[in-house]
Amino acid sequence: MVYKIIKLKNVNFRYATSPILNLVNINLEINEGEFIGVMGESGSGKSTLIYLLNGLVPHFFKGDFEGSVEVLSNNTLDYEIQDFADKVGFLFQNPDFQIFSPDVESEIVFGLENLAIPKKEMSTRLNIILEEIGITELINRDTTALSGGQKQLVSLASILIMKPQILVLDEPTSYLDPIYSNRIFNILKKIHQSGTTIILVSHNAEILGELAERIIVLDKGQIIGNDKPNMIFSNIEFLNKYKLIPPPITKLFLDLKKRIDFDFEIPVKFSDGISILSDIICR
């Protein structure tokens, strides 16, 4: 039986300072272990949507709220934000908004200290996460002396050390160069393979095509797309209407389909596209 780890029912929300609804009639279910991509133009409601998942909306970001949000079978209205700290991990765009400890070790273990985790277990978890994220050499560094990419990796480590069942990321590579972006995405791939539910907000269609099992598209606070990546990215009219750019490999095949007729599924993953092109060439 599939466990619905997140359930949003008839959610409407308007920030206290907003003249219009920022989320409109949101109904969404996410299965345990799914990798969900979230897309949409700036101001479409992407961040507001994910702020529902640990109670930031409406406990921290105040406004008019209707509907229900259940996370791990808990209604977020009945709990405080901190009650979800070890269950729902959040990684934001800018790591400077997330890091507040003076050194790397203190930053990573801060959450465990708040939960009064025994020192022996804390040390074990710390060593494991440093190895998994690949930042062992940063352990004694001052957090203010780190690069943007290093800060984001430290922030991610501070979340993953808590062993959350759900990981939510809001444009986590916006401020990073391609090298650190790829490191983040490779880590997400491994985390997902271990069974963690992931919700990733990103404009990077190539990454979402590679990693996501389902993509949610928002426009003006409404869900206007909710399907597998190949269904979202192969719909030319939909892409044009909502100004979405498909992965490069998908765009190549969409252009190719205008010139020749073929009956195979338009790929969203680079490896699938190369395999199809190889078959075409060898025919």
H runs (alpha helix) in the chain: 46-51, 104-114, 119-133, 148-160, 178-193, 205-211, 229-233, 236-241, 248-257, 270-282
Same domain, 176 and 254: no
- Are the CB atoms for 31 and 2 separated by under 8 Å? yes
Task: Tell me the pLDDT tens digit for each residue of 11-39.
Answer: 999 999 999 999 999 999 999 999 999 99
Task: Tell me the pLDDT tens digit for each residue of 118-163.
Answer: 999 999 999 999 999 999 999 999 999 999 999 999 999 999 999 9
Same domain, 132 and 117: yes
Q: Using 50, 70 and 90 to split pLDDT, how confident is the model at 278? A: confident
With pLDDT > 70 as the criterion, what percentage of the chain qualifies?
A: 100
24/219 Cα distance (integer angstroms): 10
- pLDDT reported for residue 283: 65
Same domain, 240 and 275: no
Same domain, 232 and 163: yes
Count of domains in the chain?
Answer: 2
Mean pLDDT of the chain: 94
Q: How does DSSP classify residue 101?
A: S
Domain extent, residue 273, equals: 247-283
List the beta bridge partners of residue 277: none
Task: Pull the structure tokens for residue 87.
Answer: 């269950």
pLDDT at residue 274 greater than cutoff 70: yes
Cβ neighbours for 214, distance < 8 A, ≥ 6 positions apart:
34, 35, 36, 37, 226, 227, 228, 229
108/159 Cα distance (integer angstroms): 8
Same domain, 180 and 262: no
Same domain, 136 and 260: no
List the beta bridge partners of residue 226: 216
pLDDT at residue 262 greater than cutoff 90: no
Q: Using 50, 70 and 90 to split pLDDT, how confident is the model at 264? A: confident
Same domain, 196 and 268: no
Exposure pattern of 56-93 as b/e (b: 16+ CB <10 Å)? Answer: bbbbebebebebebbbeeeebeeeeeeebbbbbbbbbb
Q: Using 50, 70 and 90 to split pLDDT, how confident is the model at 2? A: confident
pLDDT at residue 200 greater than cutoff 80: yes
Q: Is the pTM of this model over 0.85?
A: yes
Same domain, 209 and 281: no
Q: Using 50, 70 and 90 to split pLDDT, how confident is the model at 83? A: very high
232/278 Cα distance (integer angstroms): 24
Same domain, 116 and 253: no
CATH assignment at residue 95: 3.40.50.300
Same domain, 146 and 112: yes
Question: Among 167-181, 241-255, 268-282, where is mean pLDDT lowest?
Answer: 268-282
Same domain, 29 and 168: yes
Same domain, 108 and 203: yes
